[in-house]
Chain A
């Protein structure tokens, strides 16, 4: 029979440290990926902004497309003109998440750093502070009324509605924001591991080896799909941050 054994979850997301095993500053694969993601994000905009030419070429071209994409596709769509001051934050958020995600399909790394909950949680909490901060800045203490009391609610329903709004806006929102990024990338990672394990298990299994191309096609197809997912999840995370900021600071009701 086939000697197939799926590795336990801890084996595919936990990595031994290169240096400082067990210390608080332990450097393992995930930390290296964070480093690369920061480096790539900085490099893209440093190269793009180094020479400001009227007719952009190379890296400047790429950086300008990126800025336009975030400005038109996310900021203007969700917040309009008053959201433009948040463009730098959303931009670095998008590219940092995208670069940490894309390591899922880069050979020798093949680990999305967002599949450890620490990073999504940190970014979601950072966004949490920023959008509620924007709300308090825009409304003062009236922000609680703005956030908890939707217009046109009958008075006798008010306590219930306020409770629901409080739980959803202050407790569930950062949680779902975190889990969305984390679980998507974890699921993708597990999917790729499943097909890779199946392929390698079939290759060494006598005549069953003729079926090995089938999961191999799966690996190739899902690798392409995961590139799309990495992009989409970075986009969705940034888009939702924009939507939350807009909901917190907008004055129309």
Chain B
């Protein structure tokens, strides 16, 4: 059985890779939209930027929890 041969570390790395997909898409979409908003309304750029960083921080948390779990599981 192939799955049985994969070590715990390899599995942890693979799972972290899967877990990074969602936040990756999320941050890409978020920043893209923010850039579009800033291009359309440069005078609101400051506000958009603050909100963008806030959104990134929330989305990123998922990837980072995955990163921590990766070390816990892979150890």
Binding site for B on A (CB under 8 A): 9, 73, 77-78, 176, 179-180, 182-184, 186-187, 232, 235-236, 239-240, 243
Contact = CB atoms under 8 A, between A and B. Distances in A.
B54 A239 contact: yes
B7 interface: no
Interface in B11-58: 46-47, 50, 53-54, 56-57
For the complex, would chain A's binding face be called helix, strand, loop or mixed by DSSP majority? helix
B53 A184 contact: no
A179 B62 CA distance: 10
Interface of B: 46-47, 50, 53-54, 56-57, 60-61, 64-65, 67-68, 71, 75
B47 A77 contact: yes
16 contacts: A9-B71, A176-B61, A176-B65, A179-B61, A179-B64, A179-B65, A179-B68, A183-B65, A186-B67, A187-B64, A187-B67, A236-B53, A236-B57, A239-B53, A239-B54, A239-B57
Given A77-B47, A239-B50, A180 B57 contact: yes
B64 A180 contact: yes
B54 A240 contact: yes
A59 B57 CA distance: 31
Given A179-B64, A187-B64, 9 more contacts: A77-B47, A77-B50, A179-B61, A179-B65, A179-B68, A180-B61, A182-B68, A183-B64, A240-B57
